[in-house]
Amino acid sequence: MSNNTNIDVGYVAQLARLDLDEPTRNRLQHDLEAIIGYIDQLNELDVGGIEPTAHAVPLSNVWREDVAGASFERSTMLQNAPAVIDDELIKVPKVLPGEEM
């Protein structure tokens, strides 16, 4: 086993923008330590000179003709928005602390 297996779930949850209450954080800390201990077995393997596989099927990038196609109406797309302004814009809370709404 290598030294890779340290994880601070609180810190990683910050990176992933996940609010965790303390019992959840403790539970996940325990689970993740076990899981990372398990996946660390890949370090037994010598992978020198092996090409990584990013995709099951090696396809190069596929381009389409650059022509405008039909899209959805704005009103259709806004139907799923949690909050809307003037039937035109998605409303969000203030971006910076202290800023006026």
Partner 1 sequence: MSIEVKTLTVAEAAALLAAGKVTAAQLCRAYLDRVQTVDGSVKAFLKCDAERIMAAAEAADQRRAAGTPRSPYDGIPVGIKDCIVTAGETCSCASKILAPVVSPYDATVVARLKAAGFIPMGRLNMDEFAMGSSTENSAYQRTANPWDITRVPGGSSGGSAAAVAAGEVAVALGSDTGGSIRQPAAFCGVVGVKPTYGRVSRYGLVAFASSLDQIGPLAHTVEDAAIILDTIGGHDPRDCTSLPEPDCGGLAAAVAAARNGDLKGVKIGLPEEYFASESSAGVKAGVEAAIAVMKELGAEFVSVSLPHTKYAVATYYIIATAEASTNLARFDGIRYGARDQEAQDLTEVYFKTRGHGFGDEVKRRIILGTYVLSSGYYDAFYLRAQKVRTLIRRDFEAAFRQCDLLLTPVTPTTAFRFGEKKDPLQMYLADIYTIALNLSGNCGISIPAALEADSGMPVGIQLIGPALAEKQLFAVAARFEQARKEQVFTPAL
* Residues at the interface with partner 1 (CB under 8 A): 2, 4, 7, 9, 12-13, 15-21, 24, 27-28, 31-32, 34-36, 38-43, 45, 47, 50-57, 59, 61-62, 64, 72, 76-77, 79-83, 90, 92-97
CA distance 2 to 37: 9
* Shortest distance, position 21 Cβ to partner 1, whole Å: 8
Kindly state the helix (H) or strand (E) to which residue 89 belongs, with its residue range.
Answer: strand 89-90
* Shortest distance, position 9 Cβ to partner 1, whole Å: 6
CA distance 83 to 91: 5
Task: Return the number of other C-beta atoms located less than 10 Å from residue 76's C-beta.
Answer: 9
Residue 82 and residue 76 in contact, taking contact as beta carbons nearer than 8 Å: no
* Shortest distance, position 59 Cβ to partner 1, whole Å: 6
Q: Which segments of the chain does DSSP mark as H helices, in order?
A: 9-15, 22-39, 74-78
* Shortest distance, position 81 Cβ to partner 1, whole Å: 6
